[in-house]
Structure 1
C-alpha cells in the first residue's frame, strides 16, 4: 500500500514539474494542433438509395457483384500509410450501434457476415497533398433477403509522435448499408441469460439480449427490476430512457448496477420491459440464482477499489502542493512582467 502511495506522489511531482515548465516557457511553448491531415468520402454509385446520404446506402440484388469506391484525401505534406478494414455493425456496451473492429464479434444469428460479401485491401499509401480512389469489391449472397446488412469501412492513419514509438491513431468510418427490398422485417428480441458480473468496474447483474433479425432497432427504452424470489422484495432496478439502439443480428448486455454494493447469494427474478418507437414491447421474466462463489468473485471489485483508495492526508498534501504551485506561478509571472516594464 505504501509503495502505491509513493508512486502516486512521484507522479504528482512529475505532473507539477511539467506544468511549471510550461508556464516558464511562456510564449516559447509550441503546441501541436493535432491536425488529422486527411479525410475520406464515398463515391456514390447509381444504385445509391438516397443521394442525400454521405455513406453507402445501396440497393442490391441476389448474387450481384459490384465495385464501389471511396476517396482518401491526404491533406498533409507527407506521404501517409492508411490501414483499412470493413467491420460488421454490432451493439456496444453503451447500447448503441458501433463498428469498432476490435470490440465487435459476430452473433450466432448472423447469416451473412460482411467479410464474406465485401473485400478491400488492408493498406494503401497516399502521396503528400494528393488523393487515391480505393475499390471495395461486393458479392451479394445468392439467396434473397429482407432487412439490411449493416457495416462500415474503417480507415486508420498512424502518426508517430516521437522516437520512443508512441503513436496516435486517427480514424474514420464510412457506413455501408446493403438492402434488396423495402419489405418490413418482423422484429424480435430474445433474453439469452441473466447472471452476476463486474460491469464498468462495478458489481452488477447483466441481462444478455439478442436481436436475431436483419433489422437495426432504434429508440429503445429499457426498464429492469430484480426481485428476491423468497421475499418478493424489489432489490435493484435500472431504467434506460435515452433512445438506445441494437444492430442487426447482435447482442447487448443490459446492466443493472448494484451501486457498488456487494452481491448476496440467493434466488432472484428479473422483470425486464423493452420497447421501441414502432409500438413493439417485449416483457421478460426470468429466474436466476447467484451462488456464493459467484457473489464472492464479483465482490472482489469492491475489495480492490477499497484497497486502492488514498488516505485523507494525501489529498491534503495535494492541496498544499497545488497552493505552492499557484504561488510560484504568480510570483514568476509578476517578476517577468516587472522585468519587461523595466
Structure 2
C-alpha cells in the first residue's frame, strides 16, 4: 500500500505588462468539490485595490500584519496547511510558487520566509470562516524591484481505501515593492551541460536572472554545433511567452530528439529576448565527456529500452502464432478430407 498525494492548485498566474502578477482564482466551479476557498483581506497600502491578491507598497523596516480568510464551505471540520513560497522558474520555463523546495535552489537577496510569518496549520470549523494573520517584517535596506511569493493553502484530507489522498490547494499572490524605479534587466549563462530533461536526452543551458524583476514574454533560439565538424547538430526555437522569476535560475533544456548523446566538443549559440526588447546573446563552448554521455543515455534511452520487451520475445511470439495458425489450417483441411472420404 502506498500513498499518492495529488495537489490540485486552483491558482493562476496573471501576466500584466510590464511585470508579472500572481493572482488567486476563487474557482467557483470547483468550490463544491474542494469544500473551501480563500481570499485576501486587502489593506490600505494595496497598490491596486481592484486586484484580489496582495500587491503591497512597503517601506524599509516596516512591520505589518495582513490577513487571509479561509472559508470552510463543507459540512466537516477541516485542517489546513499554510506555506508561503517564493517565486521560482519552473522546469517548463514559467513562474511558479507551488513547490517550496524548488524555490530553495535560488539565491534570493531577501527570502520570504524571513519576511512573512504565519501559522503552518489551522483548524476551521464546518460551514464557517477563519481569519489567519500573516506578519510581515521588511528588510532594513531599501530595494528596487519586487519580492514575489504566494500563500499556499492546502486542505488535509483522509487517505481513501485505495491509498490515494487528494489534496486541493489554492495559491494567493503576495507581491512586495518599495518603489516604482525600473530595474535594469540582466541575464547570465552560468553553464552548459548534458542532462536528462523530462526523461529525454538533452543539453541544459543554466540561465540566471540576477535582478529583483520578473521577466515575461521570453523567446529562446538555440543552435548547437559539433566543434570537430562545425556541423549543426541541433536547432530549437521556443516562442511560448515564457517567464523568469526574480533572482531565479532556469535550466533551459535543448531536446536531443530521443537520440543518444555523443561524447565530444560542442558550441552553443543562444539568443534570448523579452517583452521590453532586451536581447541577450551567448556563445559558449562545452564538452560532453564519455562518462556524462553514458550516464544520460543510461537514464533515458537505455532505460526505456530495458523497460520494453526484448526483440527476441516478439520473434518467439510471432513464430508461436504462425505455428498455431498452421496447426488450425491443417486441422481444418484434415477434417474436410475425412468428410469427403465418408461421402
TM-score with structure 2 length normalisation? 0.79
Q: Distance in 2 between matches of 1:87 and 1:240?
A: 27
Structure with the largest fraction of strand:
2
> 241, 244, 247: which is aligned to 1:243?
241
1:189-338 to structure 2, matched below 5 A, reads: 189-300=187-298, 301-310=300-309
User: Quick check: 2:85–2:103 contact (8 Å CA) kept in 1?
Assistant: no
After TM superposition, list the pairs within 5 Å mapping 1:116-155 onto structure 2.
116-155=114-153
Instruction: State how far apart, in whole Å, the 2-side matches of 1:57 and 1:153 are.
Output: 13
In the aligned structure 2, how far is the partner of 1:232 from the partner of 1:66? Answer: 59
Q: Decide which structure has greater helix share.
A: 1
Could you tell me which residue of structure 2 aligns to residue 47 of structure 1? 45
Give the Cα separation in 1 of the matches to 2:105 and 2:77: 39
Change (3 A) 1:81 1:108: closer
- Higher alpha-carbon Rg: 2
- Residues 190-233 of structure 1, C-alpha deviations (whole Å, 9 max, x = no match): 00010001110000100000000000000000001111112211
- Write the deviation string for residues 64-110 of structure 1: whole angstroms up to 9, x where unpaired: 00000010000000000000010010000000000123442335541
Mapped partners of 1:39, 1:70: distance in 2:
10
* 2:87–2:103 Cα contact (<8 Å) kept: no
Q: Name the counterpart of 2:84.
A: 86
Structure 1: where are the runs of 5+ without partners?
1-32, 317-342
Q: Given that residues 88 and 104 in structure 1 are in contact (C-alpha distance below 8 angstroms), is that contact kept between their aligned partners in structure 2?
A: no
Shift, 1:162, TM fit? 2.5
Q: Provide structure 2 residue ranges, at least 5 long, that are not aligned to the other structure.
A: 1-30, 318-343
Structure 1 position 52, deviation (Å): 1.4
* Pairs within 5 Å for 1:102-121: 102-106=100-104, 109-121=107-119
- Scaled by the length of structure 1, the TM-score of the pair is 0.80
SS of residue matched to 2:306: helix
Structure 1 stretches of 4+ moved >4 Å: 310-313
SS at match of 1:35: helix
